[in-house]
Structure 1
C-alpha cells in the first residue's frame, strides 16, 4: 500500500476524550504489560512461528481458541460487516465468558483502536495475537458494567463508540483496523480480546479474486460403500449431505465430490432411498464446477508415503451388485424399464420419483457407477500441508497435473505481499494451487460458528484479510484459493450465510476453477516438502501390505473379485482424510481390518497334526486340508522334510469345495537311516505364492522294518517246510526199524486149528549156517518182502 504514513495513524483525539485517555492510559498500560501474559488467554494464541516478518503470505492464522477451564475470555467484533465510514459510530459486541466458579463483580470495559492501519498480513496476524503485539492502542471508550457476571455464564455487551471517539476521517487510508477490548475489575485486567473492522472512505479498490472449493464428503467410515440406511440419514433435509449441497449449489463455489457417494446411490438400484435419488439429481443439475476427489477421499499423500506404487482406485463393484435390484416388473408381472434421468455425462442415473425404476434392467458396470461430467479430472487434493517431494512424482504418474497444497507446504514469499495461489512445482510435476490459510481458517470458523456473535467475529476477520490483500498493492489483482474443511461437523449450519456474506464484500470477486488455474503463478515462492505423521504412515503401510497379501491369496479362489473388490474399497475408506482428526477411532478401525484380513488369510488350513509312522521305503502320507470359505479354492501343497531321512516329490495341487475338507496324499520315499523327521507343509497359490503359515507334522521313520519283515517271513517259510521234511525223515526211519511180519500159510477154510490150552510155543532157533556155505539166493517172493532203503 502506497498511502502516506501520516494517513495510517489515527488523528489526535478530541479534547474531552484526550483528557480521559491522559488520566487512564499510563497506569492501565503498565498493568496490561504486567498481567497480559498470565491473565489473557486470547483467541489467537498459538499462532505458528511462520507468521513472523519473513514468513510466507500463505501462513495460517489460528482460529479463536476454545474456552479453557477456570478462565475468563473476551471476544470483540463489529455488529455489522459493512465497512465503517466517516461520521459513523462504531458499534461492537463484547462477549465475556466466565468459566470460573467465582462471580465477576461489575467492572469496566475499555475499547481501544490500533494506532496504525493493518497494512500487511503479518501486521494483521500479529495484532490478533497479543503475545506478538502487546500494545492495545488508543483508548476510545470506557463502559462501566451494571451487573455481575455469574460463574459458568456468558454475557454479551453491545457498545456504540461515537464517530468522534473513533477519530477516523476521510483523510485516513482505507483498510483493516484493529480494535481491542479489556475487562477490568478494580486495578486488575481480567481478560482482553482483539478484533478487526474495515475503514472505507469511498476509495477505488481492486477486488481480490477468490476461488472457493467445498468438499462434499461423508463422515469417516471403514466400509467402502455407504449403506442404504446411512444414505437415507445423510440425504434427509437436515442430513450432512443435504446441508453441504444446500450451502453451495448455485453459488460461486467449486464442488469437490467424493465418488463414493455417487456409486453408493447408484449401486442400490431400485432399493436406493428416495431422498438419495433426489439428492443425486440435484447435484447433477447444479451449475457449479465439479471435480472428483479420490474414491472415499483417500488421502493421496498418505498413500504415497506409505509405499503405494500408484494412487489407489476401485478395482470392481461386481461383488456388491444385486442383479435383482435392476430387474423390475409392472403390476402384471411383465418386465418394465424406465430410462430414468440423464446426467450431464449421458449416464443413466436414478429418477427422482421413487416409484419409477432407476435403471433399464441391466446391472451397471464400474465405469457407469462412477461416471460423471466433471469440470476437471486431473486435480488432486491431499491433506493440506503434508505433501512431500516424492509425492508429487507419484501424483503425476497417476495422471494428476494439479495439486491443492496447504500454506505450510510453501515458503519464500515476502510478508508484505500476498502472491497468487498457483505455483509452478517444477519440471514434470505440474501446477500447485496453494490455499490461503488465514482466509480459509476464518471462513471455516464462520461456517461452523454456533452463535451470531462468533459468526460476526469470524466474518470480520474474513473481511479484514481480503481488505489487507486488496490494499497491499492497489491496482494489482490477486487470485487466491480458500477451501472449506473436510469432515463437515454436524453443527456447521452457517455455510450459506457465510458464502452470501462473502459475496457482499466490496473487495471480493468470485473466481472459477478454470480462472484460478489460468492465473499467473506466484514468484519467489518455493515448494516446501512436508510429511504425514509417522504413526499414521506406519499404520497405512500395514494396510497396503495386507492388501497385497490378500490379493495374492485371492488367486486360490474360484471368484476372487468377492475378496479383492471389497478389500480395495474398504482400504480406501480407511485411508480417508476424514479419519485424520480421529486418531483413536482410526487406530481401532485399522486394527479391526487387519484382524479380519488375518482371519481370511487363515481360512485354508492343514488339519493333520501327526505324528505319523513311516515303516516302508515308499509310502503315501495323508494330509487333510480345511476350507472355511464359502467358495471353492485351489491350492498347491508343498512338503519339505527337515532332514534327509525322507525324500518328497513336487507340490501337489488340490481343489477344496466350499466349507469342506479334503485329504491329499503326499508320496514320500525313505532314504537312509531311521529317526524323527518333521514335514513342513506349506500351502501356496497356483502361482506359487505362500498363503499361510507352514504346518509342521512329526514323522517317525522306520525304513528297515520292511526288509526285516521279509527276512522273518522267509525264515518262517524255511522253518515250516524244513520241519515237514524232518518229520518225514523220522517217520521213514521209524518204519524201517520195525520187524517184518510174514504172511501165515494158507489153511483149509473148513478146518480150525486151536492151540492147546495153557501151552506156549517156543520159537525154534535156526540152525547155524556153516561158515563156508554160500548164501542162498532169495526167491522172487521173498525179495519183494525185503525192506526198502529210504530215499534221500
Structure 2
C-alpha cells in the first residue's frame, strides 16, 4: 500500500455537533490567535529555528516540508496520497503520470493552491530504504522537484479531490543508465504560502534489464463471519453462498488462480449435515470447491485460534467430538435423495451449472446418517499445517502444536527477528527440534495485498498495488541473481469485493519480478539461518476469557455423566466453544466479550437444570425418620444423580449418598433416612447433588430441620399412661360390679334368723317375702284404702 500522508484524518463531526462547533470555534480561535500573536514571537527567540511558527506560515517558495511542518499540518486533518496512474513500470523516454488524492476532513474550505511533485534523490535499493522513504524521519527531504501544478479550484469540507498530473520524461530525469528498481515520489499541497499536506509513494523504473523474480506463495482463508454456534444455519448458508454472498465472493476470487485455499471445515460440515435440506446454492458452492485445482489445507474447526487455545490452557488442540446431536436421520433417508451435497441443484437463470463431482468425499447416500469422520472428510493437499493468529504465538505454543500433529506453523512477521535490513530471507524458518517448520508471512507485502483486495476505488487500488510492485522489485534487486521464496496471506473476516480480489491476483501475476509459488515449494525452501523465532503472546484479557470458556466446558463435561445421552450436551458445547475461539472475533473485542458472557451464563444454567425443590423447615420428632427431598429435572432427558446430605451439627446422623434417577422434565421425591443423636435444636441439612463419579454438579441446597427427639419418649409415656388408666378403670369398675353382685348373692342365700317372741300389734302384719328376690320385704308403709278395708277391726270397748 502506498504510504499515506503522515497527517491523521480527523473524523467529521456529526451534523448536530458541527453547528455547535462552528458557533464556538471562531470566538475561541480569535482569542487563541491573539494570544499566540503576543506569545510566539517572544517564545521563538529561545527555541530552535525548526520549532518556530515561521515554519508553519513561511512565505517563501514551496520547499521540502520538514518534520515540524508535517506535525503542524496533522492538526488540520488534510490527507494527501500520491501513486502512479498505472502499474506498468516507467521506462526511458516515457512521461510519468501520477494521481494525487487530497482528502479535506476539516470544516473549512481549502483555497486553491499548488501541488508539487518530487523524485527521491536515490533509488530504493532495500527494504530499509523503502520503509524509510514511506515513513520519513524528521527533516527528511522529499527529493528533487519535478513539477509544480496549481489546483485551480477550492476543496470543500468533508470532500475528496483527485488530481491527475503528468511529468514530462525530461523532467523526471531518469535514463537507461539508471539501474532498475523502486523509486520514491512525494507530493505536497501548499495554500496561502504554507504546506497543508504531504504524501509519499513509489513506482518502478525499468529498462529491460534481466531480473530475478521473487517466488511468492499467497494463501486465502475462506471463513464465515463471527458466530457463537458451531454450525451454520440453513438460512445463513443460503445467504453466504448466494452469488454476492461472502463465501461466493471468496471462492470466486481465488478458484483456478495461483492461490492456496485455507478452508474452515465448519463450512463443509454445515452443508453436509443438512442432507436433503441443504440450500441448492450451498450444494453448488461445495461442488465448486471440490473441483477447484487449488491446493487446499484445513484451518482448525470454526477457525479457532490455535495460539489462544494453547495459551488459555488447552492440552491438545480442540477438535469436534461428535455431530450426532445435530443430525436428523430423516434428511438422509434412502427414499429422499432429491438433493444431496453431491447432486447438482437447480440454480438461478444465468448461473453456470457446475458439473457433478465424482471424487468429493461425501456422506453415504444409502439412507445411513453420516458419521463425524465422514462429515469432516476432504481430499486436502496437506493436513499438518497450523495457522494461528499471526504475531501472537508464544514459545510454549509450539509444543502444543507439535503434540497435535502440526509440523508447519504459519507465523506473522512479528514472530521472527534477526533479518538484515538490506536482505529479505526466505519465508521458511526452523523452529527447533520437535517443533517443525515455521512459515513467516511478509507483513509489508501482505498488508499491501489486503489493502488492494479491499479497495473500494480505482485510485486506492492502484495506490496499494503500486506498493506491492515496489516491494517485490526491491526484494528482487537487493541481490540480483539470488532467488527468494516469500509468503503473503489475505486476512480473515469479511472478504473484499470479488472483482477487486480477482483484479489484485491477476495484476500480481502480470509483474515481471514476481513468480507464483505453491505452498509445498515454500515449505521446501532453505530456512533462513539468521532469523530466529520471537515469542509473543495473545492479549491477557483475551486469554483470561478463553480460560473461563475452557473451565466451563470442563464443568459441562463432568456434569454430563448424569445424563442418559451425554453426547447431546458435550458435542454441542465443544462446537460452540470452538466457534467462540474463532479468529474472526479478534477484531470485535466488545462483541466477543458479550458472546463469551452469554455462553458462560448458558453453561451455568445448564448445570443448574437439576435442583432441590424442598425448602423446609422440617420437624423431626423421632429417633429414626425418613426426610423427603424433592428433585426437579428441567432437562429434556433423564438424569441419574447421587443425593448427599450432610448435617450442620451432631444432632442428626445421616447415612451414605442415595442414588436417584429423574425422568426428563419431571420431579421425584427421594427419602433420606436420618437418626436423631443427642439433644434437641436446629439443624441445617446441606443437600448436594453429585454425578455417579462423585463430582459436584450444583450448589448445595440448605434445608432447616427442627429436632425434637425426646417427644417420642414423652409421647410413649403418655400413651402408656393412657392405656394403663383406661384399662385400669375398666378393671376397677369390673371389680366393683362383681363385688356388688357377690354381696347381693350371699345375702339372698343366707337362712333367716329366729325371732324372739314379742307382742305384735294387731294392726301390723308380719313382713311378706318378695316373690322375685325371695328376701324379706321392708316394713309396710301407710295403709292404702284397700288395705285399710282389709285390715281386721279392733273390738270396741
Q: TM-score range by the shorter chain?
A: 0.7 to 0.9
Corresponding residue of 1:38:
72
User: Alpha-carbon deviation of 1:723?
Assistant: 3.9
Corresponding residue of 1:440:
446
Which structure 1 residue ranges, 5 or more long, are not aligned?
1-23, 42-69, 350-357, 747-754, 763-792
1:250 aligns with 2:242: no
1:227 aligns with 2:233: yes
1:237 aligns to what SS in structure 2?
Answer: coil
Corresponding residue of 1:319:
325
User: Alpha-carbon deviation of 1:730?
Assistant: 5.7
Instruction: From the superposition, tell whether residues 182 and 346 of structure 1 become closer, same or farther in structure 2 (CA, over 3 Å).
Output: closer
User: Alpha-carbon deviation of 1:29?
Assistant: 3.4
Structure 2 counterparts to residues 171-320 of structure 1, below 5 A: 171-320=177-326
Corresponding residue of 2:781:
none
Structure 2 counterparts to residues 103-502 of structure 1, below 5 A: 103-131=109-137, 134-329=140-335, 340=343, 347-348=361-362, 359-489=365-495, 491=497, 493-502=499-508
Structure 2 counterparts to residues 710-721 of structure 1, below 5 A: 710-721=716-727
User: Alpha-carbon deviation of 1:101?
Assistant: 1.9
Distance in structure 1 (CA, Å) of the matches to 2:694 and 2:176: 83
**In 1, are the aligned partners of 2:127 and 2:471 still within 8 Å (CA)?**
yes
1:560 aligns with 2:594: no
Instruction: From the superposition, tell whether residues 265 and 132 of structure 1 become closer, same or farther in structure 2 (CA, over 3 Å).
Output: farther
Distance in structure 2 (CA, Å) of the matches to 1:99 and 1:545: 48
Corresponding residue of 2:62:
28
Q: Deviations over 1:298-341 (max 9, x none)?
A: 000001111111100000011111111111537xxx99999759
Which structure 2 residue ranges, 5 or more long, are not aligned?
1-57, 345-355, 754-759, 768-797
1:690 aligns to what SS in structure 2?
Answer: coil
User: Alpha-carbon deviation of 1:622?
Assistant: 0.7
Corresponding residue of 2:704:
698
User: Alpha-carbon deviation of 1:716?
Assistant: 2.8
Structure 2 counterparts to residues 573-592 of structure 1, below 5 A: 573-592=579-598
Distance in structure 1 (CA, Å) of the matches to 2:340 and 2:316: 40
Instruction: From the superposition, tell whether residues 758 and 742 of structure 1 become closer, same or farther in structure 2 (CA, over 3 Å).
Output: farther
**In 2, are the aligned partners of 1:119 and 1:472 still within 8 Å (CA)?**
yes
**In 2, are the aligned partners of 1:344 and 1:372 still within 8 Å (CA)?**
no
Corresponding residue of 2:615:
609
Distance in structure 1 (CA, Å) of the matches to 2:404 and 2:436: 12
TM-score, L = length of structure 2: 0.83
Distance in structure 1 (CA, Å) of the matches to 2:315 and 2:494: 30
Corresponding residue of 2:51:
none
Distance in structure 1 (CA, Å) of the matches to 2:535 and 2:618: 61
User: Alpha-carbon deviation of 1:538?
Assistant: 0.8
Distance in structure 1 (CA, Å) of the matches to 2:575 and 2:191: 60
Instruction: From the superposition, tell whether residues 183 and 648 of structure 1 become closer, same or farther in structure 2 (CA, over 3 Å).
Output: same
- Choose which of 691, 694, 697 in structure 2 pairs with 1:688: 694
1:158 aligns to what SS in structure 2?
Answer: strand
Distance in structure 2 (CA, Å) of the matches to 1:372 and 1:524: 38
Instruction: From the superposition, tell whether residues 760 and 528 of structure 1 become closer, same or farther in structure 2 (CA, over 3 Å).
Output: same
Corresponding residue of 2:543:
537
1:523 aligns with 2:557: no
User: Alpha-carbon deviation of 1:707?
Assistant: 2.0
User: Alpha-carbon deviation of 1:490?
Assistant: 5.7
1:566 aligns to what SS in structure 2?
Answer: helix
Q: Deviations over 1:47-78 (max 9, x none)?
A: xxxxxxxxxxxxxxxxxxxxxxx621111000
User: Alpha-carbon deviation of 1:436?
Assistant: 0.3
User: Alpha-carbon deviation of 1:729?
Assistant: 6.0
1:640 aligns to what SS in structure 2?
Answer: strand
User: Alpha-carbon deviation of 1:737?
Assistant: 8.7
Instruction: From the superposition, tell whether residues 589 and 627 of structure 1 become closer, same or farther in structure 2 (CA, over 3 Å).
Output: same
User: Alpha-carbon deviation of 1:30?
Assistant: 6.7
Distance in structure 2 (CA, Å) of the matches to 1:218 and 1:319: 22
Distance in structure 1 (CA, Å) of the matches to 2:183 and 2:128: 13
State which drifts further: 189-198 or 132-141. 132-141
**In 1, are the aligned partners of 2:97 and 2:166 still within 8 Å (CA)?**
yes
1:651 aligns with 2:685: no
1:571 aligns with 2:577: yes
Q: Deviations over 1:683-711 (max 9, x none)?
A: 11111111111111111112222222222
Distance in structure 1 (CA, Å) of the matches to 2:474 and 2:60: 31
Q: Deviations over 1:172-202 (max 9, x none)?
A: 1111110000010131111111100011111
Q: Deviations over 1:150-173 (max 9, x none)?
A: 222111111000111111111111
- Choose which of 680, 683, 687 in structure 2 pairs with 1:677: 683
Distance in structure 1 (CA, Å) of the matches to 2:477 and 2:236: 48
1:636 aligns to what SS in structure 2?
Answer: strand
Distance in structure 2 (CA, Å) of the matches to 1:96 and 1:30: 18
**In 2, are the aligned partners of 1:40 and 1:192 still within 8 Å (CA)?**
no
User: Alpha-carbon deviation of 1:149?
Assistant: 1.3
Distance in structure 2 (CA, Å) of the matches to 1:34 and 1:690: 66
User: Alpha-carbon deviation of 1:40?
Assistant: 4.2
1:517 aligns to what SS in structure 2?
Answer: helix
**In 2, are the aligned partners of 1:269 and 1:359 still within 8 Å (CA)?**
no
Corresponding residue of 2:519:
513
1:28 aligns to what SS in structure 2?
Answer: coil
Distance in structure 2 (CA, Å) of the matches to 1:612 and 1:595: 33
1:673 aligns to what SS in structure 2?
Answer: coil
2:420 aligns to what SS in structure 1?
Answer: coil
**In 1, are the aligned partners of 2:67 and 2:137 still within 8 Å (CA)?**
no
User: Alpha-carbon deviation of 1:122?
Assistant: 1.5
User: Alpha-carbon deviation of 1:344?
Assistant: 7.4
Instruction: From the superposition, tell whether residues 323 and 760 of structure 1 become closer, same or farther in structure 2 (CA, over 3 Å).
Output: same
Instruction: From the superposition, tell whether residues 110 and 716 of structure 1 become closer, same or farther in structure 2 (CA, over 3 Å).
Output: same
2:435 aligns to what SS in structure 1?
Answer: coil
TM-score, L = length of structure 1: 0.84
User: Alpha-carbon deviation of 1:283?
Assistant: 0.6
**In 2, are the aligned partners of 1:328 and 1:335 still within 8 Å (CA)?**
no
Instruction: From the superposition, tell whether residues 521 and 721 of structure 1 become closer, same or farther in structure 2 (CA, over 3 Å).
Output: same
Instruction: From the superposition, tell whether residues 231 and 742 of structure 1 become closer, same or farther in structure 2 (CA, over 3 Å).
Output: closer
User: Alpha-carbon deviation of 1:419?
Assistant: 1.0
Structure 2 counterparts to residues 749-760 of structure 1, below 5 A: 758-759=763-764
1:457 aligns to what SS in structure 2?
Answer: helix
Instruction: From the superposition, tell whether residues 758 and 415 of structure 1 become closer, same or farther in structure 2 (CA, over 3 Å).
Output: farther
1:348 aligns to what SS in structure 2?
Answer: coil
User: Alpha-carbon deviation of 1:488?
Assistant: 2.5
2:713 aligns to what SS in structure 1?
Answer: helix
Distance in structure 1 (CA, Å) of the matches to 2:89 and 2:139: 24
Instruction: From the superposition, tell whether residues 295 and 103 of structure 1 become closer, same or farther in structure 2 (CA, over 3 Å).
Output: same
User: Alpha-carbon deviation of 1:483?
Assistant: 0.2
